[in-house]
Amino acid sequence: MKDAPVFWRRRTWHAVSLLPASALFSGLAALRRQLYRSGVLRRERLPVPVIVVGNIAVGGSGKTPAVLWLVEELRKNGRHPGIVSRGYGGQAERGSESHLVKPDSAPDFCGDEPVLLARTAGCPVAIGRNRPAAARTLLAAHPECDVIVSDDGMQHYRLDRTAEIAVVDEAALGNLLLLPSGPLREPLARLSRVDLILAHGELSPRLRRAAGTVPIAAMRLAGKRFRSLAHPGETCGAEAFAGKRVHALAGIGQPQRFFNQLAAMGLDVVPHPFLDHHRYTASDLNFAPGEPKLMTSKDAVKCASFAPPDVWELPVRAIIDAGAIAPILEKLDDGRQIA
């Protein structure tokens, strides 16, 4: 996470000095969760099951591809999913209203990830800071939806849920300390209470122990064909860039993963990392004319309207172990909410 404090990566003196604040954060988070579990704070239950896809750390871990995988698996099993998201980074996030997201919605207003989901998931998408309200807005407009997928929101306990999926990229967990000493929003033990863990990369023995008996499925992102932003019908493989210097732009949680992916395809990569959810302008692409510029789909959704002909997107999909969806389908069939 490019904009994260450097001390989140290791247990430096700065991180250790903030441990009292982390202890306070941990206590308040545990109290809040207990208040919801005991019913002191009211959870809102929707008329359809809810599956939350989230993580225990700030920053990116691969949630959006995981949501797309989940939607596809639910559809294969006869379900009609809809997606709700906070709309992080968009202007709508600052307001109290919920909004339906269309494929042609503005990323600056709705957020980059919700617009990307609306364009690629093939199902209704709604955004709002109040996720239960966003889900009701979605269901009112699309009563055919029989399951809601919440993009992020593991810590949004106000929304009652049937199942939880944690996407874990150990590189994003840094020094394994809670905020503000480290990037964790909840302790590692939280992983033992979800229904499925999608491991984006190898997990250490420590994380596997923290997961307890929760099923762990390996996840990787795969993409082979690049798509021109200026001419969407034009695609090519990595061989089109052989022998050329390419510029890789990434405003995502873990930019290095994208750079490594391109390098593994045999490309000569010049990395250009940006802050997560960076708001691109035409000037960001106005360099090295004629040299290919490659970016993720999350970045491309914000650049399509002004991208010059030398900018290309690499769409990816999550490759996840066969049968990984089984524990989620069991929870849906069971019908009980998480206590």
* Helices 63-76, 112-120: inter-axial angle, 10-degree rounding: 30
Instruction: State residue 94's pLDDT score.
Output: 87
Question: pLDDT-based confidence at 2, cuts 50/70/90?
Answer: low
Instruction: State residue 3's pLDDT score.
Output: 63
Instruction: State residue 338's pLDDT score.
Output: 66
Instruction: State residue 42's pLDDT score.
Output: 93
Q: In angstroms, how far apart are the furthest CA atoms of the chain? A: 63
Question: pLDDT-based confidence at 323, cuts 50/70/90?
Answer: very high
Instruction: State residue 93's pLDDT score.
Output: 86
Instruction: State residue 153's pLDDT score.
Output: 86
Question: pLDDT-based confidence at 337, cuts 50/70/90?
Answer: low
Question: Rounded CA gap, 69 and 318, in Å?
Answer: 6
pLDDT, one tens digit per residue, over 129-148 is: 999 999 999 999 999 999 99
Instruction: State residue 289's pLDDT score.
Output: 92
Cis peptide preceding 180, ω within 30 of 0: yes
Non-local (6+) Cβ contacts of 337 within 8 A are 45, 160, 161, 162
Q: Which CATH class is domain 6-79+146-220+320-334?
A: alpha beta
Query: E-assigned strands of the chain?
Result: 50-54, 81-85, 99-101, 125-127, 147-151, 163-168, 196-200, 216-222, 226-228, 235-236, 245-250, 268-273, 293-296, 311-314, 317-320
pLDDT, one tens digit per residue, over 72-115 is: 999 999 999 999 999 988 899 888 899 999 999 999 999 999 99
> Strand, helix or coil at 182?
coil
Question: pLDDT-based confidence at 334, cuts 50/70/90?
Answer: confident
pLDDT, one tens digit per residue, over 104-124 is: 999 999 999 999 999 999 999
Q: Where are the domains of the chain?
A: 6-79+146-220+320-334, 224-315
pLDDT, one tens digit per residue, over 291-315 is: 999 999 999 999 999 999 999 999 9
